[in-house]
């Protein structure tokens, strides 16, 4: 075995997983943002 790539490969996969989760969260918030904002506005107005 000339090179030990397992450690680098594991950290790269971990980084890609974190990046994909982050992108998914951003897309979900972008799509649902106005609806969530309206919900909070309705609650505040009803108080």
Q: Where are the alpha helices (DSSP H) in the chain?
A: 6-46
Helix (H, G, I), strand (E, B) or coil at 3: coil
pLDDT of residue 12: 82
pTM for this structure? 0.59
What whole-number distance in Å separates Cα of residue 32 and Cα of residue 18? 21
The pLDDT averaged over each successive group of 10 residues in the chain (47 residues) is: 58 89 94 87 87
Scan for tokens 């904002």, then name that residue.
37
């Amino acid at each position: 075995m000339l090179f030990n790539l397992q450690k680098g490969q594991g950290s790269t996969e971990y980084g890609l997983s974190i990046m994909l989760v982050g992108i998914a969260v951003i897309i979900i918030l972008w799509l649902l943002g106005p609806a969530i904002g309206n919900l909070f506005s309705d609650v505040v107005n009803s108080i």
